[in-house]
Amino acid sequence: MLSIPLIRWCIKLSKTRVSVVMGSESDREVMKNCLTLLDEFTISYEVKVLSAHRTPEATSDYAKHLESRGIKVVIAGAGGAAHLPGTMAAHTTLPVIGVPLTSSLQGLDSLYSIVQMPSGVPVACMALGAAGAKNAAVLAAQILALSSPEIKKKLKDYKVKLARGSFPPSSP
């Protein structure tokens, strides 16, 4: 007989819909803003640390298999020469949301790396840092809500909470 926590874990595992990737462990603190909101929307996700430059083969291999695993949206956060979102987009037809993370050039390097994709390979570029990490979760929820009335409802509740000031604006 399976225990209830184990059953919950199995359900969560089978319904993973969002992949959250980041270029380094050092990005996790800011990307936690994204994970917290995905939890708020009860959207199941997996988190991977992959680098377009340090682990290029593992990154492309992971991106190529997302769709067949049932993932619907990719969120990719990176700093510096932030090629992770673009690399993900190169290998999948899933929507890719990019989060530029601040680095030595105050994030301008990551912003330009993510926003200026060549035609034919879009990445939805969010704001820099924590605000972008949060918005990535909201945009992912909005994409999933197109086929999920439950997530649509959560988004509507979220907007009400925003208007009430229950979700304070993020620090830069």
Contact positions toward ligand AIR, by CB under 6 A?
23-24, 26-27, 51-54, 78-82, 101, 103
- Alpha carbon distance 34, 21 (integer Å): 11
User: Would you say 80 or 134 has its CB closer to ligand AIR?
Assistant: 80
User: Would you say 27 or 145 has its CB closer to ligand AIR?
Assistant: 27
User: Would you say 78 or 143 has its CB closer to ligand AIR?
Assistant: 78
- Alpha carbon distance 75, 27 (integer Å): 13
Q: How far is the CB of 78 from ligand AIR (least distance, A)?
A: 4
Q: How far is the CB of 83 from ligand AIR (least distance, A)?
A: 6
Nearest 10 degrees: CA dihedral of 105, 102, 76, 152?
-140
Q: How far is the CB of 75 from ligand AIR (least distance, A)?
A: 13
* Helix (H), strand (E), coil (C) string for 126-171: CCCHHHHHHHHHHHHHHHHHCCCHHHHHHHHHHHHHHHHCCCCCCC
User: Would you say 17 or 134 has its CB closer to ligand AIR?
Assistant: 134
Q: Tell me the HSE value of 122 on the side-chain side, using a 13 A CA sphere.
A: 6
Q: How far is the CB of 34 from ligand AIR (least distance, A)?
A: 14
40 and 95 in contact (C-beta within 8 Å)? no
Q: How far is the CB of 109 from ligand AIR (least distance, A)?
A: 9
84 and 21 in contact (C-beta within 8 Å)? yes
Residue nearest to ligand AIR (CB): 23
Give the helix ranges, DSSP H, for 3-148: 4-14, 28-40, 56-64, 84-91, 108-115, 129-145
User: Would you say 41 or 87 has its CB closer to ligand AIR?
Assistant: 87
